[in-house]
Amino acid sequence: MKKNETQGAYTSVKNRKSKKVIFSKASGASSRGGFENDKNRFRTIWGIALVILCMLIGRAFYLQVANAQFYQDKGDELITSKRTQKSYRGMITDRNNLPLAVSAPLATVSFSPHDYAREYYEIKRVKVANPDSPKLQAQMQKRLDNMDLTRLAAASNMPLAKLQKATAIDDSIDVTDADAVKVALPSGAGSHYLPLLNKVTPEIAQSVSDLEFPGVYEKNFFQRFYPQPQPNAQLLGFMGQNADDPDGGYEGRAGIERQYETELAGKDGKVLILKDAKQNSLKEIKQLEPEIAGQNVALTIDSRLQYLLYKELEKVGRSREALWSTGMIVDVQTGEVLALSTWPSFNSNNLNEMTGENQRNRAVLDVFEPGSVMKPFTVAAALDSGKYTTSSLIDTNPGSIYVKGYTIRDHDNLGSITMATLLQKSSNVASTKIALSLPPDAISNMQRQFGFGTKTPLQFPGEGRGSIVTPKEKELSRRATISYGYGLQVTLAQVAQAYSALAAGGVMHPLTLIKSDKPQPSKRIMAHEQAMSIVQMLEAVTAPGGTAVAAAIDGYRVAGKTGTSRRVNPEGGYYTDQYRNVFAGIAPASNPRLVGVVLVEDPRGQYYAGVTAAPVFHNVMKEALRLYNVPLDKPLQTK
């Protein structure tokens, strides 16, 4: 043992070296070599960690600083949304503040059987998944009790059986199985939208919305309503859906609704609302854009006269089987349009009645050859030239005149006549002789002076301009025809404006449809004496022997002029059996207050304006003078 112990304790140098070598190999490396390797690994790990840390910091900077707004907006989109607050559209009223167009607040309440069933199964699942929570069980059961379809059926007056069939609740399915629930949810037509209340007042809709019933949605909007639809249909226009509005809003598409769309519409508001996970609105967070209500637009129209005018136009249109009829009443002193209507019309509250023909505002949009209603302006050109006076005689013998290949005739041989007789008997021959005796542009210039050939200040959407042609020196036939109303195009609104200027003593008051406290600028276009002398001459037209005796009104002196012209044949020339009747009148003639113009297109049976259009003027103007308390200027006739 000692020997062995000695050998274990003491060995030769050789043996010790060998053991040292063997020990070194076993240890794997020297102490210096192990430290260097560990330091390299340490640096590598910290380098990688530092790179990752820089990437995280860079990403955080990108998300929270550089692009913070973008991700904040994305986050807001998940929990918030912007809701449009529809502005209240302004009213359109008549001159006495009676409503002609109003916006009524309405609501539509709908039910989504799919959303209801999804909510129902979700509550059932929560109950099943939490059997050990009595408080949660009670809460879920209370929500189920509130989802009783009997409550919804009673509030909405919807049959309970219909609601139960739509929701198709199956209490036998495993509500913890998502696939089974998905199959059980209602699908197909009506599964997401079942109307409960359609276009009802907000008060009626509130009885359902106050239930806070799952799957019930309310949509509020304004619907335009017209209390006096037919008489005002073409004037006021109508509303149509705006294709550029994502919310499917409506805008004015014709008439006053379109012309004053900006003023009437106002501006919709924007509200930021908070949503839950199912995209249901929880509450309003803040007002983003204020709602600006539309302005009211007051018209110069008198709804009483408007109704009366329309009924008379309808009466003559139906009795004479005319294509259409239209008319206007204008206040001479201001240029305000008191009535403007066209027959046939349509119900503005039911656009299914509207057609391309009955929606036209004929008095403003349509142009036509006016015929003899232009003769007063031929007389005006004659007086203005200085070659003629009110007592000048014009020889019309033998009742016709030959001009450049055309024969122009009167109904009778009137002989030598005055200007007053020219207007009373509506002499084409006398008008032609005046035209040929004046410079070629004399009559057309006078017509332009009275507003023909340019749009009226009404600036109505689609308003017609008409056309006035200045004939050349050698165009004798054209110079003749424009003197008695052929070869030119006008609108009835231009005729009303021109006769109003005559009645105002040669002062042009711009036509207006908008009531304003500020007087419109006017201009003198003719000497007062000359204008009033023409008005006095026009009294003979409604006196015995004139062409419009039916326009006379008992107790008032009435001036006026008829126009019976042939309708243009699209294939060339004029129809021989189709006519256009126009009458323009002024009352009372001694101190003009009102002008009325009436047009009847292609009446059957009687085709003279004195028989068709003049009676309409008589019936409407008689009531207008009474309504406005215009004093009598002529003794009443005794029977």
Cis check: omega of the bond before 195, within 30 degrees of 0: no
- Whether pLDDT at 27 is above 60: no
Determine the average pLDDT of the residues in 445-459: 96
Determine the average pLDDT of the residues in 297-320: 97
606: number of Cβ within 10 Å: 14
CA–CA dist 458, 252 (Å, integer): 17
Lowest mean pLDDT among 71-85, 231-245, 500-514: 71-85
Backbone dihedral angles phi then psi of residue 400, each to the nearest 5 degrees: -155, 165
Active-site annotation holder among 372, 431, 444, 533:
372
Is residue 299 classed as helix, strand or coil in its secondary structure? Answer: strand
Domain 303-348+360-628 has CATH 3.40.710.10: yes
CA–CA dist 28, 30 (Å, integer): 7
Q: What is the 3-state secondary structure (H, E, C) of 359-391?
A: CCCHHHHCCECCHHHHHHHHHHHHHHHCCCCCC
- Whether pLDDT at 208 is above 60: yes
- Whether pLDDT at 372 is above 80: yes
Determine the average pLDDT of the residues in 164-168: 92
- Pairing mode of beta strands 269-275, 281-289: antiparallel
Topology adopted by domain 80-103+226-299: Penicillin-binding protein 2a (Domain 2) (3.90.1310)
Higher-pLDDT residue of 293 and 594 is 594
Higher-pLDDT residue of 605 and 581 is 581
Determine the average pLDDT of the residues in 373-392: 96
289-293 own/partner pairs: CB under 8 Å, 24+ apart: 291/85, 291/86, 291/87, 291/266, 291/267, 292/87, 292/266, 292/267, 293/87, 293/88, 293/90, 293/266
User: What does the pLDDT read at residue 71?
Assistant: 62
CA–CA dist 60, 75 (Å, integer): 16
User: What does the pLDDT read at residue 13?
Assistant: 42
User: What does the pLDDT read at residue 512?
Assistant: 96
Dig out the tokens for 148 from the structure. 């009783």
Lowest mean pLDDT among 271-285, 293-307, 430-444, 563-577: 271-285
DSSP H helices in 148-301? 149-156, 160-167, 178-184, 202-209, 229-236, 255-259, 261-265
Is residue 11 classed as helix, strand or coil in its secondary structure? Answer: coil
- What is the band of 245 on the pLDDT scale with cuts at 50, 70, 90? low
CA–CA dist 469, 292 (Å, integer): 48
What does pLDDT average to over the chain? 88
- What is the band of 307 on the pLDDT scale with cuts at 50, 70, 90? very high
Cis check: omega of the bond before 440, within 30 degrees of 0: no
Determine the average pLDDT of the residues in 499-511: 97
- What is the band of 15 on the pLDDT scale with cuts at 50, 70, 90? very low
CA–CA dist 383, 434 (Å, integer): 10
CA–CA dist 414, 610 (Å, integer): 19
Determine the average pLDDT of the residues in 392-408: 93
Lowest mean pLDDT among 69-73, 203-207, 370-374, 386-390: 69-73
User: What does the pLDDT read at residue 24?
Assistant: 45
Determine the average pLDDT of the residues in 288-306: 92
Question: Whole-prediction pTM value?
Answer: 0.81
Catalytic annotation on 372? Answer: yes
Dig out the tokens for 210 from the structure. 């106050």
Which candidate, 257, 305, 300, places its Cα nearest to that of 103?
Answer: 257
CA–CA dist 346, 373 (Å, integer): 30
- Whether pLDDT at 320 is above 50: yes
The full set of domain ranges for the chain reads 80-103+226-299, 113-186, 303-348+360-628
- What is the band of 61 on the pLDDT scale with cuts at 50, 70, 90? confident
- What is the band of 86 on the pLDDT scale with cuts at 50, 70, 90? confident
- Whether pLDDT at 308 is above 50: yes
Determine the average pLDDT of the residues in 377-394: 95
CA–CA dist 314, 240 (Å, integer): 27
Which residue has tokens 């015995």? 544
User: What does the pLDDT read at residue 76?
Assistant: 60
The predicted-structure confidence for 405-419, as pLDDT tens digits, reads as follows 889 999 999 999 999
- What is the band of 74 on the pLDDT scale with cuts at 50, 70, 90? low
End-to-end, the C-alpha distance of the chain in Å comes to 174
- What is the band of 564 on the pLDDT scale with cuts at 50, 70, 90? very high
User: What does the pLDDT read at residue 295?
Assistant: 94
- Highest mean pLDDT range out of 191-205, 245-259, 438-452? 438-452
Q: Contact, 412 vs 399, CB < 8 A?
A: yes
**Measured CA distances, 148 to 40, 113, 193, 208 (Å):** 73, 13, 19, 13
CA–CA dist 106, 1 (Å, integer): 117
- What is the band of 537 on the pLDDT scale with cuts at 50, 70, 90? very high
- Whether pLDDT at 255 is above 70: yes
- Pairing mode of beta strands 394-395, 92-93: unpaired
Is residue 508 classed as helix, strand or coil in its secondary structure? Answer: strand
Determine the average pLDDT of the residues in 138-160: 91
CA–CA dist 64, 77 (Å, integer): 17
Written as one letter, the residue type at 206 is Q
Higher-pLDDT residue of 314 and 69 is 314
- Whether pLDDT at 398 is above 90: yes
CA–CA dist 102, 138 (Å, integer): 50
Question: What is the share, in percent, of the chain residues with pLDDT greater than 90?
Answer: 65
Q: What is the 3-state secondary structure (H, E, C) of 415-465?
A: CEECHHHHHHHCCHHHHHHHHHHCCCCHHHHHHHHCCCCCCCCCCCCCCCC
- What is the band of 9 on the pLDDT scale with cuts at 50, 70, 90? very low
The residues, ordered by sequence, that sit 6+ positions from 34 with a Cβ below 8 Å of its Cβ are 28
CA–CA dist 619, 610 (Å, integer): 13
> DSSP characters for 258-284?
HHTHHHHH-B-EEEEEEE-TT--EEEE
Determine the average pLDDT of the residues in 149-178: 92
- Whether pLDDT at 270 is above 90: no
- What is the band of 5 on the pLDDT scale with cuts at 50, 70, 90? very low
Determine the average pLDDT of the residues in 41-65: 84
- Pairing mode of beta strands 523-524, 574-587: unpaired
Length of the chain: 639
CA–CA dist 221, 205 (Å, integer): 12
Lowest mean pLDDT among 78-92, 169-183, 337-351: 78-92
Question: What is the share, in percent, of the chain residues with pLDDT greater than 70?
Answer: 89
Q: At what angle do helices 375-385 and 428-437 cross, to 10 degrees?
A: 40
Q: Which residues pair with 113 in a beta bridge?
A: none
Is residue 100 classed as helix, strand or coil in its secondary structure? Answer: strand
Which residue has tokens 């037919």? 230
User: What does the pLDDT read at residue 401?
Assistant: 95
Determine the average pLDDT of the residues in 459-480: 93
User: What does the pLDDT read at residue 452?
Assistant: 97
